Amino acid sequence: MKGKSPVVEKKVELTIEERNQILREEICKLSRLGYILVQQDEVSAQLVLRKGFSCFLAVFLFVFFIIPFFV
């Protein structure tokens, strides 16, 4: 690969406390966006995003699946 330098990855070892702090910050960011914390341990977390009602999908399904049964 002429003209391009290879990517050098620098490994940085983080302590459990640093990882936990980063995780807490990310959980706070995501919870403000509507995610809900389901499970958490020292260095990982599982979050889910609740889905809302879709008016478009309801109308689409009504028009293409319910109305044809009456026609």
pLDDT, residue 70, reads: 72
Residue 44 backbone phi and psi in degrees, to 5: -150, 160
Residue 56 backbone phi and psi in degrees, to 5: -60, -45
pLDDT, residue 8, reads: 63
Q: Which band of pLDDT confidence, cut at 50, 70 and 90, is reported for residue 21? A: very high
For 16, the token pair is 């459990």
Q: Where are the beta strands (DSSP E) in the chain?
A: 35-40, 45-49
Q: 31-60, pLDDT tens digit by residue?
A: 999 999 999 988 889 999 988 888 888 888
More confident residue, 3 or 66: 66
Quote the pTM value: 0.57
pLDDT, residue 3, reads: 59
